[in-house]
Amino acid sequence: MRTVYLDHNATTPVDPAVREAMLPYLGDRFGNPSSIHAVGRTARVALDEARDEVAAFIGADPLSVIFLSGGSEANNMAIRGIATAKRDHGRHFVVSAVEHSSVLETCHDLEADGFRTTVVPVDETGMVEPKDVAAAITDETLLVAVLHANNEVGTIQPIEEVAALARERGVPLLVDAVQAAGKMPVDVGALGCDMASFSCHKLYGPKGVGVLHIRQGLELKSLITGGSHEMRRRAGTENVAGIVGFGVACRLAAERREEYEKRMQQLRDRLWKGIAERISGVVLNGNPVSRLPNTLNVSFEAVEGESVVIGLDLEGVAVSTGSACASGKVKPSHVLVAMGLDEARVRGSVRFSLGRGITESDIDHVLEVLPPVIKRLRGRG
């Protein structure tokens, strides 16, 4: 059966060039970068080169780039690190309602320790209003977190404006750029943020490796203590092969980004136009203009998104919903709920996230198999 993978916001396949570059570090270049002998120095050189490549890709100083296990750890380190370092200055966070769970849950978890979080609402397209973020800041606020682009609907936030307002108030800004990186330009200097999170497996690299950019001079406690790795900010022998892969993934993403953006947008718009022409009772979720080029989130009237995912899976097409299954019950997507969509629209939502290998013929195949799936599901009701 033909398979079409349209779930690139969940994870991406590892690019063959990334895999090739990693292999020696899973073979005879196995050294520990902290060892002073030649075997260790080989790993250290590779680590430093990768740091330079990642830093160049995100417009940062290499000394501000901390390697860790992924986007979730990066968000945890930013929030918990500042909470621990600055708890005597205040115990308040300001976050957007459409943050990733690794931000929302971490803030929530810290409530037990006396921290409070103001969750700033978004409009019906998933966009935060910078003035609302500024209005939520108090003298107690330790950190503002607004993600660059949302994973479920792809809405891109006005980060520069948020950053300017946070800076005026002297409060650091964390930008979760996990979904934006590689899909649009991300330059932490131009954005004006203090911290930014990245994850390699969304960028055609391996899982289990990420980056937290920390502006020089920002005080932050380490989450993992022990050795003096990563400029004493994150203890633990580095995932050298993964980090080497991250460097190459960033180089490739930079080389291919413009072409990627154009192609993804064309294919995504072909998919949306085709769906709207062939299927009645379907609406677009997310911002129609300020949106990731690869992301299409739609709601089908009178069907459950989960059933569409299963129906398409049986046809070899991989897509997803934003809802999470917890203890046998489907929990609605907090992003779509925050956008104020009604329950039926939330339940009927499906995310198609395109990626590098997708062709026009793949899109046309999806447009062939999707209408009968929807028809069958509606017929059941």
Residues making contact with ligand PLP (CB under 6 A): 70-72, 100, 102, 147, 151, 176, 178-179, 199, 210
| Nearest residue to 332 (alpha-carbon basis) of 320, 347, 317, 350 | 347
DSSP 148: S
**Contact predicate 70/206, CB 8 Å:** no
250 included as an active-site residue: no
Position of minimal CB gap to ligand PLP: 71
**234 Cβ neighbours under 8 A, 6+ residues apart:** 66, 67, 68, 77, 222, 223, 224
**Contact predicate 191/163, CB 8 Å:** yes
Nearer to ligand PLP, 60 or 146 (CB): 146
Nearer to ligand PLP, 279 or 319 (CB): 319
Helix, strand, coil percentages in the chain from 3-state DSSP, rounded to 5: 45, 20, 35
Query: Which DSSP string corresponds to 338-354?
Result: HTT--HHHHHTEEEEE-
Cα atoms in the Cβ-side hemisphere of radius 13 Å centred on 67: 29
End-to-end CA distance of the chain: 28
- Using left for φ > 0, alpha for ψ between -120 and 50, and beta otherwise, residue 207 falls in beta
| Nearest residue to 355 (alpha-carbon basis) of 280, 294, 298 | 294
Nearest distance, CB of residue 273 and ligand PLP, angstroms: 26
> Would you tell me how many other CB atoms lie within 10 Å of the CB of residue 361?
9
Nearer to ligand PLP, 178 or 363 (CB): 178
**106 Cβ neighbours under 8 A, 6+ residues apart:** 75, 76, 79, 80
Nearer to ligand PLP, 292 or 377 (CB): 292
Nearer to ligand PLP, 22 or 370 (CB): 22
Nearest distance, CB of residue 127 and ligand PLP, angstroms: 15
Nearer to ligand PLP, 98 or 312 (CB): 98
Residue 217: φ, ψ to 5°: 95, -15
Nearest distance, CB of residue 148 and ligand PLP, angstroms: 8
Nearest distance, CB of residue 41 and ligand PLP, angstroms: 29
Nearest distance, CB of residue 216 and ligand PLP, angstroms: 24
Nearest distance, CB of residue 365 and ligand PLP, angstroms: 26
Nearest distance, CB of residue 330 and ligand PLP, angstroms: 18
Nearer to ligand PLP, 70 or 305 (CB): 70
What distance in Å separates the CA atoms of residue 316 and residue 5, rounded to the nearest whole number? 8
Residue linked to tokens 């022409």: 277
Cα 317 to Cα 5, 90, 305, 361, distances in angstroms: 6, 48, 14, 13
Nearer to ligand PLP, 31 or 355 (CB): 355
DSSP 175: E
Nearest distance, CB of residue 10 and ligand PLP, angstroms: 7
The set of catalytic residues is: 325
